[in-house]
Amino acid sequence: MQWGGRTLFADGQFATADRKARFSVTRTISAESAEPAKKNSPAPSALIVVRVSTRRGKQFNAMIQRDVDPLTGAARDAVFICADDLARLQLRDGDRMCLQSATGSYVGCAQVAPITPGNVEVHWPEGNVLLSASAIDPDSFEPDYNATVTITPA
């Protein structure tokens, strides 16, 4: 949520009938309940299903402008993943991995990070190939910046 600034509503109120914000609980998809992107493909020796989110720069709508992210020291092809999920894949920090969603695939390098198991992050806009162009919120027209992916060694 943004607070203040010139891009917030000019009058400081939300675009709803009573001008108040609405919040709701959303369903969380765990790695155990998510569906793999392709059911008929042969199972590799190591495969996990996780939720991927795209990562921005210092603010939500910013993208990293350099080859290395100054906040994390990670290269643009980094896939931020927890040590437990990396071990499940039988991979090490720096190894290449392939993320496959229903709409595309992305190959990057594993970077161990303090992230919740069952989730990974990739830089934006590099990770856009994994996101659905049709998954748009009907009210705000905000795209879904997340996707369910399978991860395999590359």
Query: What's the half-sphere exposure (Cβ side, CA atoms, 13 Å) at 51?
Result: 17
Most confident of 69-73, 116-120, 138-142: 116-120
The share of the chain scoring above pLDDT 70, in percent, equals 70
Residue 124 near residue 65 (C-beta atoms within 8 A):
no
The region of weakest confidence among 41-45, 60-64, 142-146 is: 41-45
Element of type H or E holding 88: helix 83-88
Which residues lie below 8 Å from residue 32, measured CB to CB, with a gap of 6+?
A: 118
Of residues 129 and 24, more confidence is placed in: 129
Helix (H, G, I), strand (E, B) or coil at 151: strand
Pick among 3.40.50.2000, 2.60.40.1190, 2.40.40.20, 3.40.50.300: CATH of 48-153: 2.40.40.20
Where are the chain's structural domains? 48-153
